[in-house]
């Protein structure tokens, strides 16, 4: 049936300025429950009063597909769409919300690990509007038509609009009130995390942490990937390599380090394995259409999968987590929970699978209904299990797969990225997009997960990544070591400075998370949030805001941050540092009118105490005033919800050439500690004047005359210039000097051209061709599979391109021992009893040429099952 496009019916929901729209009254009745709203009932109850909506979406139904169009004023800029690769501004982009194991994704990959059917629209005048398609189904977000949002999904769903409000920040706060704010993270989780696939023994884990401490490089958390398990069986420990996990974690805790352990959803299908036995007894598995448990291959080989849509299964999983915590586990890492399934064209379980969901979230449904929320529900179960284990501690969960609303239970990282400059650049907008979609606690694998970072790439990535809300270094098996000291002395020093900088800023970052948790405000935000009316700021993606702190980085190998031309929002922005300026670090600016609380350069969060000296860095505005805020509590637990905290509001005011700094308001039951206060008032050019005082008492600081200020600024700028002339920057070398750990060969990702063809090739660990582009027809992405360490890799597919989508069976692949020559032979069914065969070769004697030989054969190919979209 095709309906005539028309305005959708609406009712006001949640709060002032938030509206629900449905295609019709029948569509409203047919829509499933909300899994994004923190309280699903709030979406269903109409509210009385208030203004009518300023924006009216239109809807057209084509069979089971509901298409919604939101037209906005010309010049509107689009953001959001959740975990999306590519540029910060999403205008002109197309995204499909379908959680996908997207190893080696690129800037045009349309589906990644998480689904956020959400768009933030910034209008030409700086006001903003949010649009949420509240459906768990696969949803197309099409922003390719100027100032138009198109949403399409194969079932009835409501559209929720937020605003228009005066600022983008107000929209994010309004969204967060609906879908839930981020859980308050334990303070240690805001420190630096070190991970690898894998630190494969207790001895290796302790050695890595010991090296951090010996080298004076801050670190709070070490991570255990899948190799800690007995044959990849969840909730077990390898008896030879991790014989005494509790003893190991006790040793870690004694030096101020936490331990996070991985748990995947795939449970080995093995009689006698206690997890599989208890799951079968409680009947918790996802089922096939015939009612039998679905079995799919993941790391342990054949696996059953918990049906997290069922309260029974979630309770069973939570009880396992509760017992697991007794081994000294501080946090849990949920991976592969899209859910990923090996040796399948779709990389996940069949759409015919059955989930026996609870009635309040949708009841019994086929897999497509719950696919996008499977990871979120797993994270929820893990979070609840940790709470059961110790209700006085805040859980820490990291999830790869998620849905809008996942921030209530877990942090996230941006998946299996690559060690190259393109992915360093993308890491900033990807982190920001997640924040603009309600998930502020996120970050990438610093240095890149797959492949080998160069020293300059790793150091530069650490410089900016150390200031992301979530900061973790992580690398895959077979790559070079990727610890901060693995890339030479120059890179090690940059990493040390970058992480000491993060720890000095932790009082500020922790305060931002408190505000995000209580008010729904962003932690990291795009630069245009400081001046939404400035159109030139809307595309900036190498800088970002942490409250009033502006971080300006470089993601280009040929330019450092201080050599780049940075665009600033209106107002005063003063540069500063902690005596740690370095050519390979970002440059920092503080907004005029702000007071920034700064702590000591500790090596882990547990070293800091409430009595430690506190610094206030101050940038006065054009009226000679500034304000700032600091939140302090125990750093863990929930006593802060009962008033056990100290929230301090500081002010500074310039009068008669004297700046007075004082506490003008405080909240909470904690008494102010007796601690020294150091005041640094910025003058410009990195220059500052300082004074000492006692926290809680007024501090008076005499301002120098204008001529002296000019001299101080000039001297500071000259000193910095001379410093940069003598500092040894990270050298330009192609590969680190560290030893490989079992890789066949290793090179950075390369683009190879041959005539009209452009291939993106990832040569490490056996070789993988990621994408193929034919210029006359735009993009064609390979849907071929190559088995790597038992794990079949599939590239993404770019939908709606001007070219075509091609799928192939891999017949054979050749790679000579030197790793210099590679060829792959593939066949694809093109219909009419014909197959297209392509042989793609990288020639040894001409490595800059890709040879593509195509032929059509008159035979029937048994091609892979086509991916239904």
Residues with a known catalytic role: 335, 338, 416
Rounded Cα–Cα distance for residues 148 and 127 (Å): 16
DSSP string for residues in 34-100: PSSSSSGGGGTS----SPPPS---EEEEETTEEEEEEE--TT-EEEE-SS--S-SS-TT-EEEE---
CA angle 534, 536, 537 (to 5 degrees): 75
Q: Which of 269, 706, 219, 755 is nearest to 446 (CA)?
A: 219
| Pairing mode, strands 646-655 and 809-815 | unpaired
* CB hemisphere CA count around 721 (13 angstroms): 7
Q: DSSP label at 144?
A: -
Q: Is 556 exposed, middle or buried (0-12, 13-18, 19+ CB in 10 A)?
A: middle
Rounded Cα–Cα distance for residues 762 and 751 (Å): 9
DSSP string for residues in 639-654: GGGGT-SEEEEEEEEE
Phi, psi (degrees; rounded to nearest 5) at 467: -110, 5
Q: Is 78 exposed, middle or buried (0-12, 13-18, 19+ CB in 10 A)?
A: buried
Angle between helices 506-519 and 168-179 (to 10 degrees): 70
- E strands in 264-304: 267-268, 296-298, 301-304
Instruction: Name the token pair of 586.
Output: 């970002």
Instruction: Name the token pair of 505.
Output: 């800023």
Which residue in this structure is represented by tokens 């590679």?
Answer: 822
Which residue in this structure is represented by tokens 């797993």?
Answer: 378
Contact, 99 vs 401, CB < 8 A?
A: yes
Rounded Cα–Cα distance for residues 545 and 553 (Å): 12
Contact, 195 vs 225, CB < 8 A?
A: yes
Buried-state track 858-869, b at ≥16 Cβ within 10 A, e below 16: eeebebbeeeee
Buried-state track 413-424, b at ≥16 Cβ within 10 A, e below 16: bbbbbbbbbbbb
Rounded Cα–Cα distance for residues 82 and 695 (Å): 41
Phi-psi bin for 405: left (phi > 0), alpha (psi -120 to 50), beta? left
Contact, 588 vs 553, CB < 8 A?
A: no
The three-state secondary structure class of 195 is: coil
Instruction: Name the token pair of 265.
Output: 């959803």
CA angle 780, 784, 789 (to 5 degrees): 140
Q: Which of 182, 184, 175, 185 is nearest to 37 (CA)?
A: 175
Strand order in the sheet with 809-815: 809-815, 822-831, 834-842, 850-857
Q: Is 644 exposed, middle or buried (0-12, 13-18, 19+ CB in 10 A)?
A: middle
Contact, 285 vs 294, CB < 8 A?
A: yes
Strand order in the sheet with 411-413: 442-443, 411-413, 397-399, 331-334, 258-263, 221-224, 192-194, 471-473, 445-446
Buried-state track 124-163, b at ≥16 Cβ within 10 A, e below 16: eeebbbbbbbbbbbbbbbbbeeebbbbbbbbbbbbbbbbb
């Amino acid at each position: 049936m095709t309906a005539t496009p028309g305005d959708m019916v609406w009712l006001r929901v949640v709060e002032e300025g938030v509206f629900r729209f449905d295609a019709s009254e029948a569509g409203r009745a047919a829509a499933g429950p909300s899994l994004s709203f923190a309280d699903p009932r709030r979406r269903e109850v109409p509210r009385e009063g208030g203004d009518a909506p300023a924006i009216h979406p239109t809807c057209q139904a084509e069979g089971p597909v509901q298409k919604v169009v939101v037209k906005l004023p010309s010049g509107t800029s689009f953001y959001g769409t959740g975990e999306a690769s590519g540029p910060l501004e999403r205008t002109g982009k197309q995204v499909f919300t379908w959680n996908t194991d997207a190893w080696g994704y690129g800037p045009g990959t349309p589906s990644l690990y998480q689904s956020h059917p959400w768009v933030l629209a910034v209008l030409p005048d700086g006001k903003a509007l949010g649009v949420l398609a509240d459906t768990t189904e696969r949803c197309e977000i099409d922003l390719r038509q100027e100032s138009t949002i198109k949403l399409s999904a194969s079932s009835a769903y409501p559209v929720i609009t937020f605003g228009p409000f005066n600022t983008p920040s107000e929209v994010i706060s309004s969204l967060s009130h609906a879908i839930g704010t981020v859980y308050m993270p334990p303070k240690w989780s805001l420190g630096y995390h070190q991970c690898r696939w894998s630190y494969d023994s207790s001895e290796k884990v302790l050695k890595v942490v010991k090296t951090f401490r010996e080298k004076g490089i801050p670190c709070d958390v070490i991570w255990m990937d899948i190799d800690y398990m007995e044959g990849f069986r969840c909730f077990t420990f390898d008896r030879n390599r991790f014989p005494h996990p509790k003893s190991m974690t006790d040793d870690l805790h004694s030096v101020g380090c936490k331990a996070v352990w991985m748990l995947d959803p795939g449970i080995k299908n093995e009689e006698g394995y206690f997890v599989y036995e208890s799951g079968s007894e409680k009947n918790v598995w996802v089922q096939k259409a015939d009612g039998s448990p679905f079995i799919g291959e993941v790391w342990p080989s054949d696996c059953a999968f918990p049906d997290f849509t069922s309260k029974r299964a979630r309770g069973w999983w939570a009880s396992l987590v509760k017992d697991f915590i007794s081994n000294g586990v501080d946090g849990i890492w949920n991976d592969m929970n899209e859910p990923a399934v090996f040796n399948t064209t779709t990389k996940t379980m069949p759409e015919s699978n059955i989930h026996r969901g609870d009635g309040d979230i949708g009841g019994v449904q086929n897999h497509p209904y719950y696919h996008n929320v499977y990871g979120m529900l797993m994270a929820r179960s893990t979070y609840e299990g940790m709470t059961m284990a110790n209700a006085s501690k805040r859980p820490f969960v990291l999830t790869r797969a998620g849905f809008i609303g996942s921030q209530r239970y877990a942090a996230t990282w941006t998946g299996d990225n690559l060690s190259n400059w393109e992915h360093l650049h993308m890491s900033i907008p990807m982190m920001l997009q997640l924040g603009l979609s309600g998930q502020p606690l996120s970050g990438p694998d610093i240095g890149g997960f797959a492949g080998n970072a160069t020293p300059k790439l790793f150091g530069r990535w650490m410089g900016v990544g150390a200031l992301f809300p979530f900061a973790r270094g992580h690398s895959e098996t077979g790559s070079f070591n990727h610890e901060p000291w693995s890339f030479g002395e120059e890179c090690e020093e940059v990493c040390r400075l970058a992480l000491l900088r993060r720890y000095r800023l932790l009082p500020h970052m922790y305060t931002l998370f408190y505000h995000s948790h209580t008010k729904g405000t962003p932690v990291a935000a795009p630069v245009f949030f400081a001046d939404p009316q400035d159109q030139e700021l809307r595309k900036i993606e190498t800088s970002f805001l942490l409250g009033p702190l502006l971080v300006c980085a470089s993601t280009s190998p040929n330019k450092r941050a201080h050599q780049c031309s940075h665009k600033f929002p209106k107002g005063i922005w003063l540069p500063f540092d902690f005596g740690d300026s370095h050519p390979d670090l970002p440059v920092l600016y503080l907004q005029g009118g702000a007071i920034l609380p700064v702590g000591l350069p500790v090596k882990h969060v547990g070293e800091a105490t409430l009595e430690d000296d506190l610094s206030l860095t101050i940038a006065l505005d054009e009226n000679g005033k500034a304000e700032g805020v600091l939140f302090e509590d125990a750093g863990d637990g929930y006593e802060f919800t009962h008033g056990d905290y100290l929230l301090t509001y500081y002010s500074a005011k310039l009068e008669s050439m004297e700046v007075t700094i004082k506490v003008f308001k405080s909240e909470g039951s904690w008494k102010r500690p007796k601690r020294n206060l150091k005041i640094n008032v910025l003058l410009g050019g990195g220059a500052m004047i300082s004074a000492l005082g006692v926290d809680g008492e007024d501090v008076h600081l005499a301002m120098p005359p204008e001529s002296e200020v000019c001299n101080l600024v000039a001297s500071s700028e000259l000193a910095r210039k001379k410093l940069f002339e003598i500092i040894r920057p990270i050298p330009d070398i192609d590969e680190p000097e560290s030893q490989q750990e079992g890789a066949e060969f290793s090179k950075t990702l390369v683009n190879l051209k041959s005539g009209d063809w452009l291939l993106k090739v990832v040569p490490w660990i056996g070789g993988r061709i990621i994408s193929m582009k034919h210029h006359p027809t735009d993009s064609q992405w390979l849907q071929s599979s190559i088995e790597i360490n038992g794990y079949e890799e599939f590239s993404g597919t770019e939908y709606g391109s001007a070219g075509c989508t091609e799928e192939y069976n891999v017949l054979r692949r050749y790679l000579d021992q030197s790793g210099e020559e590679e060829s792959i032979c593939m066949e694809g069914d093109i219909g009419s009893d014909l197959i297209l065969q392509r042989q793609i070769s990288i020639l040894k004697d001409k490595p800059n040429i890709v040879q593509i030989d195509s032929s059509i054969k008159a035979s029937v190919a048994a091609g892979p099952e086509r991916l239904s979209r």
